[in-house]
Amino acid sequence: MTLAMAGLDDATLMDDTLAFQKTARSRRSFRGFLNTPVPDHILQEVLKDAQCAPSNCNTQPWNVHIVSGQKLVELSQVLHAKNAAGEFTPDFSFDMDAFYSIYADRKNAQGKAYYEAMNIMREDEAGRRQATALNFSFFNAPQAVFLFMPVFGDSVRTAGDIGMYGQTFLLSLTARGLSGIPQTSLGFFAKAIREVLGISDEMKMLFGMSFGYPDESAPGNQAPTDRAPITDSVTFHR
């Protein structure tokens, strides 16, 4: 039943619409968090919201692992060590060089804005590596969520379901004054993460998300992204 069908008045409808618009349009990825854990009762509400995400045939294929405390410290140490050793064990490929034309331009613009915000020069390869490695410190967030999934066929549809879950999780965080960042980079170490968390080999990892209270003043948070006009993406057929 829609809100209008439920007989809600225009003012309520307007408030709900504006609240959603604010949430959707203000969500952004944060790369710097305060060291304040998200209280359990709030996290439970976020998880309830995310659980409402749609999925192919309502299969709800998300297998969700929330990590905090000493376990997160342990995981961070393992990820940094694997990253330094170049021991990548992703479940799904990710080729940064596969992006072409406008997609490559957007990828490059995002990277440039981030490194500039971090005050890292283009030729400073060590600096760039250090900034990238912040992914494995969870950008200082005191908790992170890891999104695993079972394998069905080529996994594309299931990955779509996981994306639906991830975005619902992120929007719920935003609506509560929290924030998060999806991280494919965590998925580069899927096998190691499975080992540390004791997760079955049957579950494959798509991405993880660091989340918490944003540190608005962190340098990594001074590079907001823009979006192309909708006319660049949307075609109406009538």
Q: Which residues bind ligand FMN (CB under 6 A)?
A: 28-29, 31, 110, 135, 181-185, 207, 225
Least spacing, CB of residue 31 vs ligand FMN, in Å: 6
Closer by beta carbon to ligand FMN, 175 or else 181? 181
Shortest Cβ distance from residue 19 to ligand FMN (Å)?
19
User: DSSP state, 91?
Assistant: S
Measured distance CA(64)–CA(6) in Å, rounded: 33
Minimum distance from residue 175 beta carbon to ligand FMN (Å): 16
Closest to ligand FMN by CB, 71 vs 106, is 106
**DSSP string computed for 180-231:** EEEEHHHHTTHHHHHHHHT--TTSEEEEEEEEESB-TTSGGGS-------GG
Measured from the Cβ of residue 201, the count of other Cβ atoms closer than 10 Å reads 9
Tokens of 222: 């001074």
Q: What is the closest distance, in whole angstroms, from the C-beta atom of residue 184 to ligand FMN in the complex?
A: 4
Q: Which is nearer to ligand FMN, 51 or 225 (CB)?
A: 225
- Outline where DSSP puts E strands in the chain: 63-68, 143-149, 179-183, 204-212
Nearer to ligand FMN, 181 or 199 (CB): 181
